[in-house]
Chain A
Amino acid sequence: MAAAVEHEVSHPALQHHFENLEQQREAGTLGMWVFLVTEIMFFGGMFFAYTLYRSKFPDAFASASNHLSLPLGAVNTVVLILSSLTMALAVYCAQVGKRRNLILFLVMTIVLGSAFLGIKAVEYRDKYVDSLIPGRLVPGRPFNPVVAAHGDTDPHKLHLMGSATVKHVEMFYWIYFAMTGMHAIHMIIGVGLLLVLLYFSWRGRYGPEYHNPVEILGLYWHFVDIIWIFLFPLLYLLGRHMLHT
């Protein structure tokens, strides 16, 4: 027992204020969860705003949602879930001490995360082209979509259904850009942290005894994935079924 304690104390990653690596790991994981609670509340406020305005202006929200690209949104969902899998596998490789595979899966997660952001950028560009970026966020491109006349099927024009108005469509796009924008910022931070992890993994810092940073970043990455799991149906799919009628 004394020898085991001696060994743990001598681990270079053990901070002096913890008894042993196990306690350090649990404290780190708990800390990340507490942070994720604040993140849930942060995004929760935006989900509430979405729920409220969608219930007030259902037709405008459905019309605005139908202008989003369902294929791009669906592909991005697959890309992000795939990146969650590679992140989970990276944690697994750190736990069992496979350094090469850990590096491989971290690189795959970074590539998939960047692919998600690239597709998101394409979508944002489409909205810029159609003057659908709300307010005056972009200088010289105020919110000013062309409303399609009845029977016009031009996908670049805004197709208003039922009692939808351009003003309320703009409300949808405020919420769309706030939520997907905050989500994208979280992704960018996540990719940055993954690069740091990649550097230390390459240096051989993580192994079966100590890999808490990999585990904790995994929690963050999966959380960001969960936000998208809700954003995708709520933003992209809410008015599709109304197109048939």
Chain B
Amino acid sequence: MSEHIVSLKVYFTIFLSLMVGTALTVWAGLQDFPGPLNVIVALTIAVIKATLVVLYFMHVRYSSRLIWVVFAAALFWLGILFALTFGDYWTRTWL
């Protein structure tokens, strides 16, 4: 599998998207949304921005399956870290 060279057009498009995302997250942070919506909006924008960086700036979209598996493993173990530790704190007051 030979190296894929990402075009300049893609790089600049992603950059502009990240700038729009940043502006959007600042705007959303200043709005008073009901309930926990502020956090949800902020995290959604951050996840979209991070996904764009991973896929295009870090070339994962054009990388081998092995890189995909390694990255997926990172997210999986991060999920375990959050789920099990939160499970502990969540249930401490039950007894």
Contact = CB atoms under 8 A, between A and B. Distances in A.
Contacts, number: 125
Contact of B82 (A48, A85, A234): A48
Interface of B: 1-3, 5-6, 8, 11-12, 15, 18-19, 22, 25-26, 28-33, 38-39, 42-43, 45-46, 49-50, 53-54, 57-59, 63-64, 66-67, 70-71, 73-75, 77-78, 81-82, 85-86, 89
Contact of A84 (B43, B57, B59, B74): B57
A88 B57 contact: yes
Tell me what chain A mostly uses at the interface: helix, strand, loop, or mixed: helix
B8 A89 contact: yes
Nearest to A230: B46
A74 interface: yes
Contact of B58 (A25, A222, A232): A222
A245 interface: yes
Contacts of A230: 46, 50
A16 interface: no
B45 to A, nearest CB: 7
Contact of A229 (B5, B38, B53, B78): B53
A78 B57 contact: no
B19 A78 contact: yes
26 contacts: A25-B3, A29-B63, A41-B78, A48-B86, A51-B86, A78-B19, A84-B15, A84-B53, A85-B15, A88-B57, A92-B11, A215-B59, A225-B53, A225-B57, A226-B53, A229-B46, A229-B49, A229-B50, A230-B46, A230-B50, A232-B22, A233-B25, A233-B29, A236-B29, A241-B29, A241-B30
Tell me what chain B mostly uses at the interface: helix, strand, loop, or mixed: helix
Contacts of B5: 92, 95-96
B81 A81 contact: no
Interface string A223-240: 101100110111011101
B38 A30 contact: no
